[in-house]
Amino acid sequence: MGETEYWDEFVVYDDQGGMTGRVSGRIIFNESWDFTIFDKNLEARRIGLQWTAWESTPKEEFDIKADAKISPFGRYTRRLFKGKYVSARSAGNYLAGYNASTVKSNWGNYITREGFLKVAGHLHNSAGGPSPYYGEIPYATRWIERGITDGAAMRTWELYRKK
């Protein structure tokens, strides 16, 4: 019925990055995260980086894994994203990275990759953590990094289009 980008996409990880050995969740076949991510990013761009940061904290607007309407089976609700099945957790991490890379602060600049990962790491571990993940777990960071990379490409395309 489909494939995943990563072999362990359906494995349950704890908040310290440990694999529990369980597989959890339900796939909603033929439905996609693409529009949800597009829609949430438009909203993030409208409200700016400071509000986007707030709305990205647990159980707020951009925490799509916690929204029962969007993710009826919680963080392990699975839908297509860019043609492959991913969990709500992964889609939300992508959105966080994409927002970080495409939403400007009140001063007109973007947060750096390192700055974003430090903030995200502190959300999960009040002390943060060492480089390169700063307290985030690799399972989350791989999708955050993809969001950051795709967001940077989108910014470049938007600049080119304006010329």
In this prediction, residue 35 carries a pLDDT of 97
Q: Work out the mean pLDDT of the chain and round it to a whole number.
A: 88
d(CA 83, CA 104): 29
Name the pLDDT band for 24 (thresholds 50, 70, 90). confident
In this prediction, residue 65 carries a pLDDT of 94
Name the pLDDT band for 124 (thresholds 50, 70, 90). low
In this prediction, residue 129 carries a pLDDT of 73
How confident is the model over 91-112, as pLDDT tens digits? 999 999 999 999 998 888 888 8
Q: CB under 8 Å to 35, separation ≥6 — which residues?
A: none
In this prediction, residue 97 carries a pLDDT of 95
DSSP-based helix, strand, coil % in the chain, nearest 5? 50, 15, 35
Residue type, 110: Y
Do 146 and 94 contact (CB within 8 A), yes or no? yes
Strands 19-23 and 11-13: antiparallel
Q: Is the pLDDT of residue 159 over 70?
A: yes
pLDDT > 90: what percent of the chain? 52
Which residue is it, tokens 């925490």?
A: 63
How confident is the model over 6-21, as pLDDT tens digits? 988 888 887 777 888 7
Q: Which of 76, 70, 83 is nearest to 4 (CA)?
A: 83
In this prediction, residue 17 carries a pLDDT of 78
Question: Looking at 16-20, 125-129, 159-163, which range is the least confident one?
Answer: 125-129
Name the pLDDT band for 64 (thresholds 50, 70, 90). very high
Q: Is the pLDDT of residue 125 over 70?
A: no
Please give the average per-residue pLDDT across 44-49, as a whole number. Answer: 94
